[in-house]
Structure 1
Amino acid sequence: MRSRFPYICTNKRYLYNRLKAVPTIMFDNFLVFLANHPRLVPEPLLRVIFLFAADVCWLFSLGGVSQLERNLHHVLVARDGAVTRKDVRKASHRGMRSYFTYFAEAMTVGGQSNERLLARARAIGPGLPICRRLVHDEPGSLPLAISHQGNWDYEGFLAANVLAPPTVTAERLANKALLDTFIKIRKRLDITVLLTGQPNLIEKLTKVLDEPHGLVALLADRDLSRHGEFVKAFGSTIRVARGPAALAFDTGKPLFVVNMFREQLHGEARRKAGVRYGYVVDISAPVDIDRFRDLPREEAIHAISQAWVDVWAHGILAYPEDWHMLQPIFIDDLDFSRLKDVPDEVMSELERIKQVQ
């Protein structure tokens, strides 16, 4: 067999890409090992390790920190007006610590009792009693729009115990072992995972909504497909998934928006949880789908998407450090060469941004 060594030595880009992937592969394998041995490392020690890793990544701008800061800059400017580089760096530091805390929690969730897990999250919001009535008394199933916030595992487990077992979607990961591990964790928490990109995904989710006593919780604040929905948020344009709006419009179900953020625990609540910080799951009042019922389907999906994003954005503005968005989402960061059906007004906005830059 002909050796590839000369090619590797002369192609610096190839070598750089291979070396750059090594830390990610090692980290993924480390996560798989920990998740499969949740009691091997004491949780307090594991949290310290992950917080140290978060500090290192933040200090050297590794692992998506630069993109996180670009995203947070939009949020902070929308909330506070002009912000400094120091403001953004402080926010990204808190964000990375929040994000890596989630990893520590995900790795140890299999070793926690149900009582302890329920003590670590609580549900609030005007939509909570409405969801309870619709799911338990009707009984029916509901779509929820969720985002990259807080801890999905705790959120799903709480939903399964307070409302109904959720069905969620997840992206296919390059590391199959890591993907299988996360699916196994969520199955233990009574969370059903459907992978994006599979045939007839919307039909499968619609079928779930046709059954009683269920939830379809769609991670929707970012879209990887070629046909996402462009909406306004934080004084700019972002691209979100069409799923929540499409399901709500097609099924006639009310759509609820969920924000999740951390809170400090005290006294008995802290003792039961076994940690200093828990989570608040804030369920919005239902988005009024009926006011869009007379619109053509595509216009309605856009209008409903904008409506739920308006609700969701308030939660991000209040707790930006718990928004773990380390990928491109704003118009000035997207790769438009791979997108389809981009509206003319979005392309015009992009041209204006390029001219300013």
Structure 2
Amino acid sequence: MVNVMAWLANHPRVLPERVVRGAFLAAADVAWLLRVGSVRQLERNLRHVLAWSAAEGAEDNGSSHVGSRTLRRLSRKGMRSYFTYFSEALTVGASDRSRLLARIRGDGDGLDSIIALTAPDGQASSAPIAMGHQGNWDYDGFWAQFGVAPVTTVAERLADPDMLDAFVSIRERLGMRILLTGTPHLTERLEEALRQPSVLVPLLADRDLSRHGEFVEAFGSTIRVARGPATLAYDTGLPLYVVNTYRERLSGERRRAAGTPYGYVCEISGPLDIDAYRGLEREDAIHAISQAWVDVWARGIAAHPEDWHMLQPIFLEDLDLDRLKDVPESLLASARVGD
């Protein structure tokens, strides 16, 4: 399957996009029907989101119960959204600029602010962004260079070299500058990029199992997120924005221009005022900033959970804490009590 995907990425015009999309949707439905391990994990993750959302509104509806039918319907939408992302990524080379721009638009209370911040008027600044595996983040990066500012970001160094080359090529074709995880002095290179005018550094940060991750509260539980967004914001003093991306149904001229029934909204929130955390020690500040962006991001996930592509363990209850490093003793104690 990996070799097929890499081949498709390198030959995006061999098959019509609608054929590739249809094949991936069929594969999503098969995986969902068989309820393979990744689907079961997706449902465990979504259950946290739904239960938290229900509890938040419990005073209105009187219940925080998550029904199995509701969960199964949502997980099917989630799998189809996830597989759609791959079909779009692998065929991006077959679409021109106008078609891609018709598929994505910006929105959110932070949109005007980030445009003004990065405007090339001689005093342009740059901005780090925290985001998660939601919607189509590649389209976000493509849109940003026209709607806001050029993007420098980080891609995971995949074990399979063909897939790594394919996805780096896809993102570079979309106009992004890509650095890889494991690159020496990666944080310093990102900070250097942010010191230039009119640069965005968005980081997929909703999952980090390294020793450097931050444990924060989310959806009534605990997850470990990447320190990157908070670290970059604190060390550079730049405001931190938060992005959620979700699908929307298209119609009329935009649907014809996009060549697909669905497009995306890049919803920009913030910014977080990093100066508010200067009174804390650096490590405490990075943790507090991480919690602050997760609080904003979580509301966006709760509003559109079907577009959150998290098929791996992320919540404390699903993690093997004995295999993780630098887990706070308070969390270990809490987990032992839960067992």
TM-score range, shorter chain: over 0.9
Matches within 5 A, 1:110-259: 110-136=93-119, 137=121, 138-259=123-244
Give unpaired runs (5+ residues) of structure 1.
1-26
**Secondary structure of 1:106's match?**
helix
Determine what percentage of the aligned residue pairs are the same residue: 59
Q: CA deviation at 1:269?
A: 1.2
1:311 aligns with 2:285: no
Q: CA deviation at 1:63?
A: 5.8
Matches within 5 A, 1:30-69: 30-62=4-36, 64-69=38-43
- In 1, Cα distance between equivalents of 2:66 and 2:338: 19
| Deviation sequence 1:68-121 (CA, Å, 0-9, x none) | 111011001111221122222111110000000111111110110100000000
**Would the aligned equivalents of 1:169 and 1:193 in 2 still touch at CA under 8 Å?**
yes
Aligned to 1:84, which of 42, 67, 74?
Answer: 67
**Secondary structure of 2:52's match?**
helix
TM-score (norm 1): 0.90
Q: CA deviation at 1:345?
A: 2.1
Shifted more, 224-233 versus 93-102: the winner is 224-233
- In 1, Cα distance between equivalents of 2:81 and 2:266: 15
- In 1, Cα distance between equivalents of 2:334 and 2:257: 51
Greater Rg by CA: 1
**Would the aligned equivalents of 1:57 and 1:63 in 2 still touch at CA under 8 Å?**
no
AA partner of residue 24 (structure 2): F
Aligned to 1:339, which of 314, 324, 327?
Answer: 324
- Partner residue of 1:98? 81
- In 2, Cα distance between equivalents of 1:285 and 1:179: 32
AA partner of residue 29 (structure 1): N
**Would the aligned equivalents of 1:38 and 1:108 in 2 still touch at CA under 8 Å?**
yes
Q: Name the count of aligned residue pairs.
A: 328
Q: What RMSD, in angstroms, separates the aligned Cα atoms of the two structures?
A: 1.1
**Would the aligned equivalents of 1:227 and 1:339 in 2 still touch at CA under 8 Å?**
no
**Secondary structure of 1:49's match?**
helix
Shifted more, 124-133 versus 307-316: the winner is 124-133
TM-score (norm 2): 0.95
Shifted more, 249-258 versus 184-193: the winner is 184-193
Q: CA deviation at 1:133?
A: 1.1
Give unpaired runs (5+ residues) of structure 2.
55-63
AA partner of residue 98 (structure 1): S
**Secondary structure of 1:294's match?**
coil
**Would the aligned equivalents of 2:209 and 2:324 in 1 still touch at CA under 8 Å?**
no
**Would the aligned equivalents of 1:157 and 1:189 in 2 still touch at CA under 8 Å?**
yes
Shifted more, 314-323 versus 331-340: the winner is 331-340
- Partner residue of 1:23? none
**Would the aligned equivalents of 1:258 and 1:283 in 2 still touch at CA under 8 Å?**
yes
| Deviation sequence 1:140-181 (CA, Å, 0-9, x none) | 211000110011211110011111111111111121100101
**Secondary structure of 2:271's match?**
coil
AA partner of residue 76 (structure 1): L
